[in-house]
């Protein structure tokens, strides 16, 4: 990632720490085990708006997607969290990111996520559901083309 220091993430609650661990696992450490550890067994991930046509995931399929698509895609990912709104069981985060993909292409993104969190036995929280309002322009103009570039690059490596 890293997450750039803003007032929105100073002194994070246990609920926000779960979301920050998710972000770190997917965008910085590329650690599927750390990602799995912050998700409940019945975790669901949906992309919104639905008109983007992106699939929804359960825990195993999201971890596979993160390992095979997101983690290789996000070679540089600097995130600024602008606002956090939270209750006991929900964390809403508005953020922007500037990144570089594995093929060298750069991009900017603005997203909003709603994480439904539940307490774990150790006092920390896990994420039960994640609704990601994706940057529609990024998906249309960059994401699909980048996935294709990654697939082509991997095909070239196999030759």
The domain locations on the chain are: 3-151
Q: Would you give the distance in Å from CA 155 to the centre of its chain?
A: 26
Q: Is 85 a residue whose pLDDT tops 70?
A: yes
φ, ψ of residue 130 to 5 degrees: the values are: -135, 115
Q: Is 117 a residue whose pLDDT tops 80?
A: yes
Looking at domain 3-151, its CATH class is alpha beta
Q: What is the pLDDT of residue 159?
A: 29
Distance CA 156, CA 159 (A): 5
Instruction: State what percent of residues in the chain have pLDDT above 90.
Output: 51
Q: What is the pLDDT of residue 2?
A: 61
pLDDT tens for each residue of 49-69: 999 889 999 999 999 999 988
Q: Which of 13-17, 45-49, 56-60, 152-156 has the lowest mean pLDDT?
A: 152-156
C-alpha distances in Å from residue 77, one per residue of 1, 9, 25, 74, 123: 4, 17, 12, 6, 29
C-beta separation of 88 from 16 below 8 A: no
pLDDT tens for each residue of 118-148: 999 998 999 999 999 988 777 767 776 777 7
């Amino acid at each position: 990632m890293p997450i750039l220091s803003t007032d929105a993430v100073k002194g994070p609650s246990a609920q926000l720490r779960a979301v920050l661990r998710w972000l770190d696992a997917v965008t910085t450490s590329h650690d599927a085990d750390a990602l799995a550890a912050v998700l409940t067994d019945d975790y669901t991930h949906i992309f919104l708006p639905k008109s983007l046509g992106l699939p929804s995931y359960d825990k195993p399929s999201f971890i596979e997607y993160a390992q095979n698509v997101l983690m290789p895609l996000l070679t540089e990912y600097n995130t600024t969290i602008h606002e956090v709104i939270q209750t006991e069981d929900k964390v809403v985060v508005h953020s922007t990111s500037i990144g570089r993909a594995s093929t060298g292409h750069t991009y900017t993104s603005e997203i909003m996520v709603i994480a439904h969190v539940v307490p774990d036995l150790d006092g920390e929280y896990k994420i039960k559901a994640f609704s990601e309002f994706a940057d529609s322009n990024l998906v249309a103009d960059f994401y699909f083309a980048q996935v294709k570039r990654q697939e082509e690059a991997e095909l070239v490596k196999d030759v």
